Amino acid sequence: MTKASFRLETHDAQSTLFVGGDWQLGDAPDAAELCAIIPTTTTKLDISTAELGQWDSSLAIVFLQIIHWCKTNNIPLDTQATPEGLQQLLRLATDVPAYENTGDKKTAPFLASLQEKLNAQWQEVSTTLIFIGDTSLALMQWLRGNAKTRRSDILYFVQQAGPSALGIVTLISLLVGMILAYLGSVQLRQLGAQVYVADLVSLGMVREMGALMTAVIMAGRTGAAYAAQLGTMQVNDEIDALKIMGISSMEFLVLPRLIALIFVMPLLCIYADIIGMAGGALIAANMDVSFTQYILQTQGAVDWLDIWTGIFKSLFFGILIAIAGCQAGLHCGRNSNAVGMAATNAVVRAIVYLVVADAAFNILYDKLGI
């Protein structure tokens, strides 16, 4: 084992750093020693490892610091004469930029910053509108029977979004019905009108909470899954492969997920309404309201118009969840961190879409007298 060594030769303002010996952890020279002998007037620095013996990660650490030093002093660095394994380590270390503290950076002028943010928001809105348009065209192709959408894919996603979600939908809907009953019982007991807790729970579930809570559950469960699935396919270049084969990603990937949610969401909404009213019945039983009274009061309070308002909401909510999840997945980056961000963006966007859409529906129903 020979001792690690280095020397610098300079010709016509171009320097060559010769590295030799065995570079092992604990015996390798410090990077500062190598940087100290390199003149800042050097126009180019080459590294030669012809005399290099055995080496480990200590050599890569030293070279990485030399790379940073050369970058700081604007000195071009050539590492092509180094071992291939060392070059791969250096590429791995330099491909992802290190975190830089932006606290000392000058802030952009207010108007320029505002314009940049508005441009980014407009770009996002236009991308969403284009995605919705492409989805609508693909859906029209499917209705005409010309889309490259497999029935088996639709059935798979129906199973994934429907029966597989019954457990969490049952739990949340039951608890929501009980919570509504508890909230109403506080005031109704003061008036001796405990029987009207059935009206509160039934109307709250069929018109609002059944559809909205089911949609929020599906946004966190199914919307994030769609984004992660498509994002992983994007990282693995599978979506690009489909395009090369002439297969539309909208018809083959997005449409089955969208159709599955369109079919499943109204059914889950009806199921959530029933479970929520059952949860209210459990609380009403503790308020001296019999099950028969609860059923009769519910029948008098809820009509088919109330039921259909919630079902129509859930249908539209399913479309929004599919759009948010699939768009986030298809526009995912090319690394694992981007997949996680895509799943997060899918959930956040879906919930924002749901809340805004729910408020719009309530305003519309109020104006129409529904």
Q: What is the pLDDT of residues 217-257, one digit of tens each?
A: 999 999 999 999 999 998 888 888 888 888 888 889 999 99
Residue 295 in any domain: the answer is yes
Token digits of residue 83: 């071992």
The reply to whether 111 falls in a domain is: no
Pairing of strands 5-11, 14-23: antiparallel
Q: Are residues 173 and 80 in the same domain?
A: no
What are the φ/ψ torsions at residue 281 (nearest 5 degrees)?
-65, -35
Do both 216 and 334 map to the same domain?
A: yes
83 and 23 co-located in one domain? yes
127 within a domain of the structure (yes/no): no
pLDDT average, residue stretch 192-198: 82
- What is the extent of the structural domain holding 87? 5-94
Query: Residue 99 falls within a domain, yes or no?
Result: no
CATH number (domain holding residue 85): 3.30.750.24
Residues 6+ apart with CB under 8 A from 105: none
Considering the entire predicted model, what is its pTM? 0.68
Q: Tell me whether residue 185 is exposed, middle or buried, using C-beta atoms within 10 angstroms of its C-beta: 0 to 12, 13 to 18, 19 or more.
A: buried
Domain end (from 94, 124, 147): 94
- Residue 86 is assigned to a structural domain of this protein: yes
Which distant-in-sequence residues (6+ apart) come within 8 Å of 98 by Cβ? none
46-103 pLDDT, tens digit per residue, is 888 888 888 888 888 888 888 888 888 888 888 888 888 888 877 777 765 555 555 5
- Do 90 and 153 sit in the same domain of this protein? no
If asked whether residues 178 and 242 sit together in one domain, one would say: yes
**Count of CB atoms within 10 A of residue 76's CB?**
12
Domain assignment present for residue 105? The answer is no
Nearest to 311 by CA among 278, 369, 257, 265: 265
**6 against 138, higher pLDDT:** 138
* 125-152 tens-digit pLDDT: 888 899 899 899 989 988 888 888 888 9
Whether 106 is covered by a domain: the verdict is no
Sign (positive or negative) of CA dihedral 49, 51, 53, 58: negative
253 lies in the same domain as 343: yes
- End-to-end, the C-alpha distance of the chain in Å comes to 88
Residues 63 and 174 grouped into a single domain? no
Is 286 in the same domain as 226?
A: yes
Domain count, the chain: 2
Q: How many whole angstroms separate alpha carbon 289 and alpha carbon 353? A: 38
- Asked if residue 100 belongs to a domain, the reply is no
Residues 90 and 143 placed together within one structural domain of the fold? no
